[in-house]
Amino acid sequence: MFKKVFGGNAEQKVIDSIKQHMQILYSASECFKKGLQEGNKAQMYCVADLEREGDSVRREIISMIYEGAFLPFLRTNICRFVEIVDEAFDVLKDTAFEFEYLGPNLDQEIREDCIQIAAINQQMCDMLMIAFDTLFSKGDLREKTLAIRIYEKKVDDMKFDLIGRLRNKEVKTFWEGRTLSDFISYLTHISDVIEDASDYLHIINLSMR
């Protein structure tokens, strides 16, 4: 429907760029997960690189929209969606940054859970792309956003469990505790941001009716 009503060249360019933006987010989350699995700090630099790439795509998208793509009443919501996806990049970058300081100090038991959360975050990025595609097909967007909410709930449950265990963990310095706490907060916040983005897809869908 999206494409049918607003299917001009400028609109198509924006749609392609948004897909590219989300694809970069997926790559960044994949790269993050790999770095975490391998316990490799150097691997994490790709997250910052991809975040910069994502930033530049976001600027292009916003410019194209305000140069005239899409009807004005749709522009705000589309821009907001793109901004939220960009926020996911920022949180992912912050998580990778904290990991650089944490590295080998991450307990084996906590590490396993963190890898699982990183894997769910990656699956959520993929589901967000599927949900975005649904705007142009006959697919059921509600079904996709529900899947994203299920993933988010899983991360939420794991977060509370992790925090409960971390409270009993002894830390030697202020920064050791602070870094670990920030790492877990950022890692578990990514799913919230992706859920927010999927909510915006729902709003965009409604505004086109």
Partner 1 sequence: MKVDEIMTKKLEIISAEASIYDAIERMIDKRIRSLLVKPGDAHDVYGVITVRDIVHKALGKNLDLNKMKVSEIMSKPVISVDKGVDVEHAIVLMTKSNITRVFVNEGREIVGIVSLLDVMSAALINRAREGHGV
- Given the rule CB under 8 A, which residues bind partner 1? 123, 126-127, 130, 133, 143-144, 146-147, 150-151, 154, 161
Nearer to partner 1, 32 or 70 (CB): 32
**What is the rounded distance in angstroms from the CA atom of residue 199 to the CA atom of residue 149?**
10
Q: Which residues contact 108 (CB under 8 A, 6 or more apart)?
A: none
- Taken as a whole, the chain contains a residue count of 209
Q: Which is nearer to partner 1, 60 or 199 (CB)?
A: 199
Helix (H, G, I), strand (E, B) or coil at 174: helix
Shortest distance (Å) from residue 16 CB to partner 1 = 18
Sequence-distant (6+) residues with CB within 8 A of 167 are none
The minimum distance between CB 114 and partner 1, in angstroms, equals: 14
Q: How far apart are CA 84 and CA 90, in angstroms?
A: 10
Tokens 């996911």: give the residue: 88
Question: What's the closest the beta carbon of residue 190 comes to partner 1, in angstroms?
Answer: 18
Q: How far is the CB of 158 from partner 1 (least distance, A)?
A: 9
The smaller minimum CB distance to partner 1, of residues 44 and 201, is found at 201
